[in-house]
């Protein structure tokens, strides 16, 4: 093959890689987690084919990529992820896929953290491994504020419109529709959880600051002595005494954290342990982004009632 033919073949391949998808074709979307997959489906409204690499109950920080992940990424038009340092396995995954458009800054790489007001951002120069599993840009669980779902949806709509400009108006309308839905849902759930406003809780991991802030709850302490570090018996005993002195009635735990430790703490503190869904499909019945918040609010209310109320 002559150099001229080789050059034309390479140019054609590059053009096909960057051209918008054809009329009538679905956008092939791969997301890191199930929450982003559900939001992508809602924004895409039948125009996207979405697949999540995670199933729902896992810890997003500790996923071990499979060879099948690389195969899925090579076939995708867009790869949607949380950005920041939320999923430390993602950089190696996109490099393994060997698709330039999937690398950071590429047209197929969609970081949905853009525009999010991050919480728990560490002070400059204050980071060290002695602090445990600290996120250098701030807390990465921002999707657990339902109003941040609107920002995520906006980032998705922009990405969809970039590769499928013919349907840009549809994606924009779906985003506005979702924003209205999430605003109404938030107002309704804030009213529903009003009896617990200002209540203090103990959390297992630093998963819940956005959720707690949105629904006017306060964190007393964490079960982990440092993020990502398992608690010892002395820490649990001391925390149980602190909970009893403070009248704390609830321990919030994720599906991937040690429920037995959370239950042990709750028993010692004469409180209740409640498992919440940190992602869509993390628990049975949590099949959508909206269902996640309904489930968690109702679970908190039920657990609080069983514990005799939380001050």
Report yes or no on 13 lying in a domain: no
Report yes or no on 2 lying in a domain: no
Q: Please state, rounded to an integer, the average pLDDT across all residues of the chain.
A: 91
Report yes or no on 180 lying in a domain: yes
Statement to judge: residues 96 and 215 lie in one domain:
no
Statement to judge: residues 268 and 288 lie in one domain:
yes
Statement to judge: residues 209 and 158 lie in one domain:
no
> How confident is the model over 288-302, as pLDDT tens digits?
999 999 999 999 999
Supply the pLDDT for residue 123. 81
> How confident is the model over 174-204, as pLDDT tens digits?
999 999 999 999 999 999 999 999 999 999 9
**Which one, of 289, 42, 288, 79, lies nearest residue 170 by Cα?**
42
Please tell me whether residue 68 adopts helix, strand or coil conformation.
helix
Quote the CA–CA distance of 251 and 263 in Å, as a whole number: 8
Burial (CB count within 10 angstroms: exposed 0-12, middle 13-18, buried 19+), residue 168: middle
The model's pTM is: 0.90
Q: Other CB atoms closer than 10 Å to residue 303's CB: what's the count? A: 22
Residue that wins the pLDDT comparison between 285 and 20: 285
Q: Rounded to an integer, what is the distance from CA 85 to the centroid of its chain?
A: 12
Parent domain of 289: 194-307
> How confident is the model over 145-156, as pLDDT tens digits?
999 999 999 999
Tally of domains within the chain: 2
Residue that wins the pLDDT comparison between 105 and 6: 105
Please say whether the dihedral angle defined by the alpha carbons of residues 231, 258, 212 and 307, taken in this order, is positive or negative. Answer: negative
Statement to judge: residues 31 and 178 lie in one domain:
yes
Domain containing 122 — which CATH number? 3.40.50.1980
């Amino acid at each position: 093959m002559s150099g001229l033919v080789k050059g034309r073949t390479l140019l054609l391949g590059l053009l096909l890689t960057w051209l918008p998808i054809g009329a009538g074709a679905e956008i092939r979307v791969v997301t890191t987690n199930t929450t982003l997959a559900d939001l992508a489906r809602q924004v895409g409204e039948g125009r996207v084919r979405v697949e999540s690499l995670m199933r729902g109950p896992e810890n997003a920080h500790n996923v071990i990529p499979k060879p099948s992940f690389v195969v899925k990424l090579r076939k995708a038009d867009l790869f949607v992820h949380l950005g920041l340092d939320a999923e430390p396995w993602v950089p190696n995954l996109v490099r393994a896929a060997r698709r330039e458009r999937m690398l950071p800054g590429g047209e197929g790489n969609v970081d949905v953290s853009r525009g999010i007001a991050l919480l728990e951002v560490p002070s400059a120069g204050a980071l060290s491994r002695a602090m445990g599993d600290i996120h250098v840009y701030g807390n990465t669980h921002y999707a657990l504020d339902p109003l941040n779902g609107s920002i995520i949806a906006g980032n998705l709509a922009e990405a969809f419109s970039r590769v499928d400009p013919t349907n840009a108006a549809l994606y924009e309308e779906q985003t506005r529709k979702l924003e209205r839905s999430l605003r109404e849902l938030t107002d309704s759930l804030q009213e529903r959880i009003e009896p617990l406003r200002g209540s203090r809780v103990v959390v297992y991991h630093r998963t819940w600051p956005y959720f707690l802030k949105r629904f006017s709850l306060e964190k007393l302490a964490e079960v982990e002595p440092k993020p990502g570090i398992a608690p010892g018996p002395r820490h649990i005993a001391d925390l149980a005494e602190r909970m009893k002195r403070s009248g704390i009635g609830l321990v919030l735990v994720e599906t991937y954290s040690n429920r037995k430790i959370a239950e042990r703490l709750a028993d010692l503190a004469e409180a209740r342990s409640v498992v919440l869904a940190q992602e869509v499909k993390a628990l049975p019945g949590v099949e959508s982004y909206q269902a996640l918040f309904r489930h968690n609010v109702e679970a908190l209310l039920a657990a609080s009632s069983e514990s005799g109320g939380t001050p």
